[in-house]
Amino acid sequence: AQTVTQSQPEMSVQEAETVTLSCTYDTSESDYYLFWYKQPPSRQMILVIRQEAYKQQNATENRFSVNFQKAAKSFSLKISDSQLGDAAMYFCALSADGLTFGKGTHLIIQP
Amino acid sequence: EPEVTQTPSHQVTQMGQEVILRCVPISNHLYFYWYRQILGQKVEFLVSFYNNEISEKSEIFDDQFSVERPDGSNFTLKIRSTKLEDSAMYFCASSESLAGTDTQYFGPGTRLTVL
């Protein structure tokens, strides 16, 4: 069985600062994909970034980047220059057929 | 930009009634999924669907649930004899190719309230 663990139920950061959200996972698969999804108060699930496990290079999308450590089974999300619109629940997810999600981290942006 | 749509946005039903939640996946996508999120909890996989049949389902997806692609555009989740604990957000998602290798795009969700 696959598991995804997010150990930070809540994180707070000042606007314009940088924050890192942690995620660890476990899988017996050798090839898999990892995702970060954002869920604002509207509760829509929005893809933030994805990483293919076979790629060593960390994925980046504008202000969002990941630190993927395959041996440690760690997949953290870094948000640079935090903006008020970044406030949301952030879910780490691991692919199989269906996605396995972590419990989420509630990110608060302090103005 | 193409998107997954879901109707209704909010469904209220009495315990024991049947509900059908509807989804229109992105048009060129071949894989379809349903997820559930009980308030305050994580998103849980229910079922995946490809080529008009279930490809995988979780232990949550018991005989109370069924899925169908009744036409070329809609993808439905039917919940028979609803229970109070079925109250949750239900998300539909779709992907262009095999789930493990492609991104799943989520709809806005249907909030199901069972009274």
The pLDDT tens digits of the residues spanning B7-33 come to 999 999 999 999 999 999 999 899 999
Q: State which H helix or E strand residue B21 sits in.
A: strand B19-24
Considering chain B, what is the average pLDDT of its residues? 92
Cβ pair B87, B112 in contact under 8 A: yes
pLDDT band at A111 (very low <50, low <70, confident <90, very high): very high
Would you kindly state where each structural domain of chain B is located, as residue ranges?
5-9+16-94
Considering chain A, what is the average pLDDT of its residues? 93
pLDDT digits (tens, 9 = 90+) for A62-98: 999 999 999 999 999 999 999 999 999 999 999 866 7
Residue A100 one-letter amino acid = T
Q: How many CA atoms lie within 13 A of B46 on its CB side?
A: 25
Alpha-carbon torsion B45, B49, B55, B57, what sign?
positive
At CA A30, angle to CA B49 and CA A32, rounded to 5? 45
Taking residues A21-25, report their average pLDDT.
Answer: 98
Q: So what's the pLDDT on residue A41?
A: 86
Q: Which CATH class is domain B5-9+16-94?
A: mainly beta
Cβ pair B77, B32 in contact under 8 A: no
Contact: B105, A47; criterion CB under 8 Å: yes
- CATH number of the A3-110 domain: 2.60.40.10
Q: What is the CA radius of gyration of chain A?
A: 13
Cβ pair B90, B112 in contact under 8 A: yes
- Does B1 have pLDDT greater than 90? no
Q: For testing the chain B interface, which of A99, A101, A105, A106 should be mutated: the one with the most B CBs within 10 Å?
A: A99
Residues of B in contact with A31 (CB under 8 A): 100
Q: So what's the pLDDT on residue B71?
A: 86
Residue B71 one-letter amino acid = D
Contact: A100, B45; criterion CB under 8 Å: yes
Tokens of B35: 């997820």
Q: Is B99 on the interface with A (CB under 8 A)?
A: yes
Q: List the single residue in B99, B106, B107 with the smallest CB-CB distance to A97.
A: B99
